[in-house]
Amino acid sequence: MPYTELLYSVRDGVATVTLHRPDKLNAFTNVMMRELHHVFDEIDADDNVRAVVMTGSGRGFCAGADLSGGGDTFNDGSLSTESQSTFRRDGGGTVTLRMFKCNKPIIGAINGPAVGIGATMTLAMDMRLISSAAKMGFVFTRRGIVPEACSSWFLPRIVGIAQAQEWVMTGRVFGAEEALRGGLVRSIHEPDDLLPAAYALAKEIVDNAAPVSVALARQMMWRMLGAPHPMNAHRVDSRGIQIRGRSKDVQEGVMSFLEKRQAVFTERVTTDLPDIFPEWEEPEFF
């Protein structure tokens, strides 16, 4: 699929997804939403992709929703009643849900302004690095709307409820240092050093970790965030250890360690990913 609002490339096991509307600070549109769905389908289907770096073109990451529609930007006019069956799905939420399901680790390289959906989109990423020149903001209350993109689930789990409430209720835009203090990002980098740092982190995963184990571990971490009891995690852990314990990758991982050499993992996510979540039921919208 040719992309019009994204740039996509793969090199040395790392896919780069670049939001690409630089003249609009990469403001989010329905086209971008559809292309993000497609690109993550492409990523999951390609065993040559072992990790993902997401960033923005030009001086912005994503300035939020495209507000060219003025005051009616968020009004599609379709809701005639308050019946749940008539609600239109939030587009940003469909994107973060797709990212949540991804089998590859996602690293955010926040190179510039990331506000609204530009901020909430990053919450479904596994690690976030930020430029010293970047700013972020959960500005929804200042626009008379509410948080979206499943951020009421993601944000408190990442930074804690008190910090999440402060950022969401004030709607203020804050800099890289505050993002780091609040636990939203792992590190701050000078603008020219941001992408190299993100790629170095991605390559650490690509060069050392088994792709199937990474895919399973990613889902274990995310899904168990909502588990009601540690026993849920124990069940998943036990299945994973038993099933992966018989795999070729485990044999290679142990022997390469004992022989003091680089491991060569051969199992593929597309063909060798076991189901260790038999109790997991994917929720429906309505």
pLDDT digits (tens, 9 = 90+) for 97-137: 999 999 999 999 999 999 999 999 999 999 999 999 999 99
Note whether 111 and 61 are within 8 A (CB): yes
pLDDT digits (tens, 9 = 90+) for 222-268: 999 989 999 999 999 999 999 999 999 999 999 999 999 999 999 99
Exposure pattern of 268-279 as b/e (b: 16+ CB <10 Å)?
A: ebeebeeebbee
- Taking the domain 209-272, which CATH number applies? 1.10.12.10
List every span in the chain annotated with CATH 3.90.226.10. Answer: 6-66+88-206
Would you call 167 helix, strand, or coil by DSSP?
A: helix
Note whether 78 and 87 are within 8 A (CB): no
Report H helices in the chain: 30-45, 91-101, 117-120, 151-159, 161-170, 176-181, 191-208, 211-224, 230-244, 248-258, 269-272
Q: What is the pLDDT of residue 77?
A: 53
In the block, tokens 């940003």 appear at 92
Q: Which CATH number fits domain 6-66+88-206: 3.90.226.10, 3.40.109.10, 3.40.640.10, 1.10.645.10?
A: 3.90.226.10
Alpha-carbon span 191 to 196, nearest angstrom:
10
